[in-house]
Amino acid sequence: MSDQQTVSGPETFDRMWADLVPLGRDPDSGGYHRHAWNGADTEVRAWFTEAAVARGLDVRADRNGNLWAWWGTPGPGAVATGSHLDSVPDGGAFDGPLGVASALAAVDELRGRGLTPTRPLAVTVFVEEEGGRFGVPCLGSRLTAGEISPERVRGLTDASGTTWAQAMEAAGHDPHAIGADPEALAGLDAFVELHVEQGRALEETPHPVGVASAIWPHGRWRMDFTGRADHAGTTRLSDRSDPMLPFAHAVLAARALAEEHDARATVAKARIAPNGTNAIPSSVSAWLDARAADGAVLDAIVDGVREVAAKTAREHGVEHAMVNESLTPLVSFSHGLRDRLAAVVASRAPDPRVPVLPTGAGHDAGVLAAHVPTAMLYVRNPTGVSHSPHERARPEDCHAGVLALADVLQDLLERPVDEGEG
């Protein structure tokens, strides 16, 4: 695709989206299983590389496997925009890919407008944002930001026991090269991530596009309940060490505590062994996902779940351990950048009061925010449903997102390089 005055970002977005939607789609559920280094992931990464190369962008994989497609020569004062292409297990089409396709479409839109940027622009794809395969979210951005150790990442295993290192190597990337990349981040003056909204706040307004204010503190905790396998038909109740029972108590405690504190706490994943109808489980491992508006409330919820799990495990002769697997404190996005985005978005908005929203969802932008002035745009979600094959965004709202992102990038790219971000 060459620089032509006639190119429109929304049009090229529609074409890219039509190419991207079928890749790795489950024919039964309509959902996606795009996870780091698997077949579907390879397909969507190839799609990105091809689309970027077709635009004359220079595509590079960094040491952590994240993809960077450059418009202009990488250097100081760069602006980056992008998101991720992986999904949760059986996830939706929009969470992640919307931000990537919109970024490429915004490049087309800016070229269509005849823009010649004074700064380099990178369109980025971060690896394994959802943690759908290896259990820990935002691995690509955390590695690059130096917020997780390469040793730990290499040793993470998926459900079948394959390590990150094995999977990365099989996909043709060197797992020994992974780690912090301070130079890459030091070159960035701004990072903007466009994302489908994962709630219905915009739906209650006339606005197709909003701006992020903050990400709630959130984390994941693994709970291991270890009992003793035994015959479900013959073992007296008093002789059992059944880990399913404290697990069930923990599930209900998480919900009750979230209600009490007006927060979120969810047990959505568990592994039961041996998972046979007539064998009392030997172990149940389960994951708690908890998020709250402030850290003290988050602590209260997690402590409460731990207490119930430990007490009921004791009552049933079951061992219990609970470890934190990831924890992200409150992220407040750059106020200066946030206000600048809101002002730019307002120029095209139905009214000037562009919604500025907090979220309970983690994002690569939340990881980068500690290192680079960072902001996010949200595109309206008519049902609020996300992490599901039923995740949706209206085409006209996606188009509004592309134009808003193009406006924001134009604003950032036209500034002199010696002007920083606030």
Which positions touch its own copies (CB under 8 A)? 31, 88-91, 95, 130-132, 135, 137, 198-200, 216, 218, 220, 228-237, 239, 242, 244-245, 247-249, 251-252, 255, 258-259, 264, 266-270, 272-282, 287, 289, 291, 359-362, 384-390
Q: Supply the minimum distance, in Å, between the C-beta of residue 228 and its own copies.
A: 7
Q: Supply the minimum distance, in Å, between the C-beta of residue 340 and its own copies.
A: 25
C-alpha span between 156 and 24 (Å, rounded): 24
Closer to its own copies by Cβ: residue 108 or 158: 158
Q: Supply the minimum distance, in Å, between the C-beta of residue 175 and its own copies.
A: 23
Closer to its own copies by Cβ: residue 176 or 231: 231
Closer to its own copies by Cβ: residue 81 or 381: 381
Size of the chain, expressed as the number of residues it contains: 422
C-beta of residue 98 within 8 angstroms of C-beta of residue 208: no
C-beta of residue 94 within 8 angstroms of C-beta of residue 32: no
Q: Supply the minimum distance, in Å, between the C-beta of residue 133 and its own copies.
A: 10
Beta bridge partners, 279, equal: 231
Closer to its own copies by Cβ: residue 17 or 134: 134
Closer to its own copies by Cβ: residue 163 or 410: 163
Q: Supply the minimum distance, in Å, between the C-beta of residue 379 and its own copies.
A: 14
C-alpha span between 85 and 60 (Å, rounded): 16
C-alpha span between 124 and 119 (Å, rounded): 16
Closer to its own copies by Cβ: residue 291 or 320: 291
Instruction: Give the other-Cβ count within 10 Å of 216's Cβ.
Output: 24
Closer to its own copies by Cβ: residue 148 or 251: 251
Closer to its own copies by Cβ: residue 78 or 209: 209
* Torsional class of 140: left (φ above 0), alpha (ψ -120 to 50), beta (otherwise): alpha
**Long-range CB pairs of 232-235, under 8 A, 24+ apart, other chains included:** 232/277, 232/278, 232/279, 232/280, 233/278, 235/280
**Do β-strands 356-359 and 209-215 pair in parallel, antiparallel, or remain unpaired?**
parallel
C-beta of residue 10 within 8 angstroms of C-beta of residue 399: yes
Q: Supply the minimum distance, in Å, between the C-beta of residue 197 and its own copies.
A: 8
Find the angle CA(60)-CA(421)-CA(184) to the nearest 5 degrees.
25
C-beta of residue 254 within 8 angstroms of C-beta of residue 270: no
Compute the Cα dihedral for 23, 86, 167, 290 and give only its sign.
negative
Q: Supply the minimum distance, in Å, between the C-beta of residue 137 and its own copies.
A: 7
Closer to its own copies by Cβ: residue 397 or 407: 397
Q: Supply the minimum distance, in Å, between the C-beta of residue 316 and its own copies.
A: 9
Q: Supply the minimum distance, in Å, between the C-beta of residue 141 and its own copies.
A: 16
Q: Supply the minimum distance, in Å, between the C-beta of residue 394 and its own copies.
A: 18
Closer to its own copies by Cβ: residue 11 or 230: 230
